[in-house]
Structure 1
Amino acid sequence: MTIDEIILFLKASSSEKFKKNIIKLGIPDEYTIGVPTSDLRKFAKKIPREKDFLMSLWKTNYHECKILTVLALKPKECSEDDIHYIMDGIVSWDLCDLFCKNILIKQDDFDHFIQRWIDSDKLFYKRAAFTLIASTSTHAALTTEKITDYLTLIELHSDDDQLLVKKAASWALRELGKTNEAAKEAAIKTAKSMQTQESKAAQWIAKDALKELPLLVQAPGRSRLISSKSKMGKNV
């Protein structure tokens, strides 16, 4: 399968309605084909998985081709140079989050990306740091010490008024709180501390996180806390 064949297949599978949704994410019209991510996940299993081929697919600049690249890349084959090259080509939150969940969180040293990017002045690098914290809470066994470290990072670096950063910071705060009851209380304490900051961004993040954190409960058979508003949570 060639790159041209992949693009032809994507164009044949495109939807004008879905294309408009993608453009709303900030993707230029000329780099949008209009294929749902659910379809791309199925198609990604059929394309070559050689890194050089996938990096060439990325270079087409089509949003869908970039998603296919991230879905098909083998995390352990990605060098730090590859990671920074891909990060520099990300221009939407969905691709940023997908890259974090599919590639970055599976790196042995993912934590150093959090530490390096958490105070970045680049939108998607900073969002990635918060997204990784959110993803870490479900992909790794976090110690109390590590949870405390991440909560501290969130509080220290939440003075950023960019909406995509604020949403990711709130997400990270909430996901850490779902780890266990102690983490929930620590996350609530962090959020309340953030409410006292002068930063409007920190206040926004705290308020958003506190919509869910106090509602978290432990359900039988679940390792993580869930919302008491969920179907299972209502029975707790």
Structure 2
Amino acid sequence: MAPRRPPENADYSLPDILAWLEAHGSAHNIAGMARFGINTEKAYGVGNTALRPFGKTLGRNHERALDLWRTGIREARLLALFTEEPARVSPDQAREMTGDFDSWEIVDHASDLFVAAGHLDELVPEFAADDREFVRRTAFAMIAWAAVHLKKRDDADFIALLPMIEIHATDPRNFVKKAVNWALRQIGKRSMDCHGPALALAEKLASSQDKTARWIGKDAVRELSDPKRIAMIGQKKTAANRQRILGKL
């Protein structure tokens, strides 16, 4: 079998990448990003629809990803997250990176990387206990990503995270409460086994005296009570059972 050809731009250096970003930047995009709460203090204004394909042409490279992250530039940091080697991301590296978080956008993509790196169990409780807004958001964004992508994990592992969601459902900060809500909804949509406990918590929060918890609960109840959504969750279980049966044949 012929050796796999390296990505088209695998030999790009940091200056090459920054030059590409500058050439593809847009002041118009920067203004639009700012309206969505994205930190554009250091940004070229390159949208993710261009960044992701460019990242694929670079391929994965741990050392280069570290260099990109250190620039502090929005697009360079996103490319660092897109092109990092998950297996080489240690918990300590993840902890260090959270100290630089300044945007929900960076948090959510980093959370995906941290889950892929296998640090859900170690870092989620730690990040949830951290009072910094973007660090706490990271914990619940990781839960949300994991509920969708870690299909081989036991549902019980996610049900066990519901008390953590309840504890932090009263944090009124915008980027935290939205991530807590996201995590609750994604657990509820993971499977029928997860749906019942997640919906029960959502209903409990919906009747809370706390304004933030009530918003989180009502929004989650609305989605998790939708008949079409429930039917889709049931179909997931049927498909999973079919795959399990076929695997035994």
TM-score (normalised: structure 1) = 0.86
Q: Note the residue ranges of structure 1 that are not aligned, 5 or more in a row.
A: 226-236
Match of 2:72 in 1: 61
Q: 1:55 to 1:221 in 2, by over 3 A?
A: same
In the TM superposition, residue 142 of structure 1 has moved relative to its aligned partner by 4.1
- The structure with the largest helix share of the pair is 2
TM-score (normalised: structure 2) = 0.82
Q: Which digits, 9 at most, give the CA deviation of each residue in 1:87-111, with x for residues without a partner?
A: 111211111111111x111123322
In the alignment, is the contact (CA less than 8 A) between 2:191 and 2:233 conserved in 1?
Answer: no
Q: What one-letter code is carried by the residue in structure 1 that aligns with 2:123? A: F
In the alignment, is the contact (CA less than 8 A) between 2:40 and 2:74 conserved in 1?
Answer: no
1:130 and 2:140 correspond: yes
* C-alpha distance in structure 1 between counterparts of 2:51 and 2:38, whole Å: 19
In the alignment, is the contact (CA less than 8 A) between 1:118 and 1:126 conserved in 2?
Answer: yes
Q: What one-letter code is carried by the residue in structure 2 that aligns with 1:126? A: R
* C-alpha distance in structure 1 between counterparts of 2:39 and 2:218, whole Å: 30
In the alignment, is the contact (CA less than 8 A) between 2:91 and 2:119 conserved in 1?
Answer: no
* C-alpha distance in structure 1 between counterparts of 2:155 and 2:40, whole Å: 43
Which of these residues, 236, 239, 246, is aligned with residue 223 of structure 1? 236
The aligned length equals 223
Secondary structure at the aligned position of 2:222 is classed as coil
1:94 and 2:105 correspond: yes
Q: What one-letter code is carried by the residue in structure 1 that aligns with 2:53? A: K
Secondary structure at the aligned position of 1:178 is classed as helix
* C-alpha distance in structure 1 between counterparts of 2:100 and 2:237, whole Å: 34
Q: What one-letter code is carried by the residue in structure 1 that aligns with 2:157? A: K
Q: Which digits, 9 at most, give the CA deviation of each residue in 1:186-214, with x for residues without a partner?
A: 11110121234332221111112122110
1:120 and 2:130 correspond: yes
Secondary structure at the aligned position of 1:61 is classed as coil
* C-alpha distance in structure 2 between counterparts of 1:142 and 1:207, whole Å: 28
Match of 2:39 in 1: 27
In the TM superposition, residue 48 of structure 1 has moved relative to its aligned partner by 6.2
* C-alpha distance in structure 1 between counterparts of 2:154 and 2:174, whole Å: 30
1:213 and 2:224 correspond: yes
Q: What one-letter code is carried by the residue in structure 1 that aligns with 2:119? A: D
RMSD: 2.1
In the TM superposition, residue 222 of structure 1 has moved relative to its aligned partner by 4.1
Q: Note the residue ranges of structure 2 that are not aligned, 5 or more in a row.
A: 1-11, 239-249
In the TM superposition, residue 224 of structure 1 has moved relative to its aligned partner by 6.4
